[in-house]
Amino acid sequence: MDLVLQSPHLTDTAVDALQRACAPRSVRRKPGAARLAEVAHDDGTRATVAALAQEHDCDVAFVDGARAQADIRALAMDMDSTVITIECMDEIAGYAGKGAEVAAITEAAMRGEIPDFAESLRRRAALLAGADAALIDRVIADRLRFSPGAPELIAAARANGWKTLLVSGGFVQFTGHVQRALGFDVACANHIEIRDGRLTGHVSGPPENGGAIVDAAGKAAALRRLCAEIGCDTSQAIAVGDGANDLQMMRLSGLSVAYRAKPLVRSQANVAIQHAGLDGILNLFADRW
């Protein structure tokens, strides 16, 4: 195994400390990252590495020292708080004067009082009934920003020949913008109905998901469809997300990445990135060094 260290402010002190902890065969450096080759990775070493990473504010990932970009065929990414920095539903609700009400439903869902994502989404969308549909464009113009490294990651994916999927429990009005801006091959999301320039509060899933709301199972199904279309196994895919709704998709993939994610998701992913940008995913591959 190799150990990849990453942080926008990775210091020599951090690299030296990690090097002492796991005795690599060699060390390679680039701005903001280091790769320690053929490291010890027993439980004790892993625990020490995790503690040092926290102390030095850097990401660490034990990776297959031979894994190359050519081993990957597909890249699936959640949108809200992953590819982009916001939660689109919350932003619309804030502009519509319904921020507190929507947040209360979100909190109830997180406490397990509304275990069904589709029900939670419908309740939140219903609160937006009557809101000016122009708020969607306002959110896109004023609030929607790409996460660090997202454009670079998608550009590299295209160069590598990976097929890219943008998947969201949110709305096509936002995934369409992001897909066009970054060049994702496929997008899958829900639809919030607009009539006479107003949101009706009604939501529906996409035809490719049988009209069902895109939830955790819908995200996993979207990844399966993409892999089937290009003739690869899901083990040849990377899946990136931040929330519990992404875990089914992430478990299907051969490389799951938790990006600035909830603790539950970090604990179950192959790799967690808290400090580096999304393009840090590329440093997990031997041939990027």
pLDDT tens for residues 46-77? 999 999 999 999 999 999 999 999 999 999 99
- Report percent pLDDT > 90 for the chain: 92
Shortest CA distance to 6 belongs to which of 287, 289, 285, 277?
A: 277
As a whole number of angstroms, the longest Cα–Cα distance in the chain is: 66
In this predicted structure, the answer to whether residue 22 has a pLDDT above a threshold of 70 is yes
Instruction: Say which CATH architecture domain 1-65 belongs to.
Output: 2-Layer Sandwich (3.30)
Q: What is the mean pLDDT of residues 237-258?
A: 96
Which pLDDT score is estimated for 115?
79
pLDDT tens digits, 181-223: 999 999 999 999 999 999 999 999 999 999 999 999 999 999 9
pLDDT range class, residue 108, cuts 50, 70, 90: confident
User: Where are the chain's structural domains?
Assistant: 1-65, 70-86+146-289
pLDDT tens digits, 113-128: 887 899 999 999 999 9
In this predicted structure, the answer to whether residue 259 has a pLDDT above a threshold of 90 is yes
Please tell me if the domain spanning 1-65 has the same topology as the one spanning 70-86+146-289: no
Q: Is 149 helix (H, G, I), strand (E, B) or coil?
A: coil
HSE (side-chain half, CA atoms, 13 Å) at 186? 21
CA distance 139 to 145: 10
CA distance 170 to 89: 7
Which pLDDT score is estimated for 107?
78
CA distance 74 to 230: 9
Q: What is the mean pLDDT of residues 132-156?
A: 98
Which pLDDT score is estimated for 109?
76
Cβ burial, residue 176 (10 Å; 0-12/13-18/19+): middle
Q: What is the mean pLDDT of residues 98-120?
A: 84
Instruction: Say which CATH architecture domain 70-86+146-289 belongs to.
Output: 3-Layer(aba) Sandwich (3.40)
pLDDT tens digits, 155-182: 999 999 999 999 999 999 999 999 999 9
Q: What is the mean pLDDT of residues 92-110?
A: 89
Where does the chain have alpha helices with state H?
Answer: 12-22, 43-56, 88-95, 99-110, 117-126, 134-142, 150-160, 172-182, 216-230, 247-252, 263-268
Q: What is the mean pLDDT of residues 233-259?
A: 96
In this predicted structure, the answer to whether residue 112 has a pLDDT above a threshold of 70 is no
Which pLDDT score is estimated for 147?
98
- Report percent pLDDT > 70 for the chain: 99
CA distance 72 to 75: 8
Sheet holding 74-78, edge to edge: 198-204, 186-195, 163-171, 74-78, 237-241, 255-259, 271-273
Active site residues: 78, 80
If one compares 68 and 243, the residue with the highest pLDDT of the two is: 68
In this predicted structure, the answer to whether residue 279 has a pLDDT above a threshold of 70 is yes
Are 106 and 124 in contact, with CB atoms under 8 Å apart?
yes
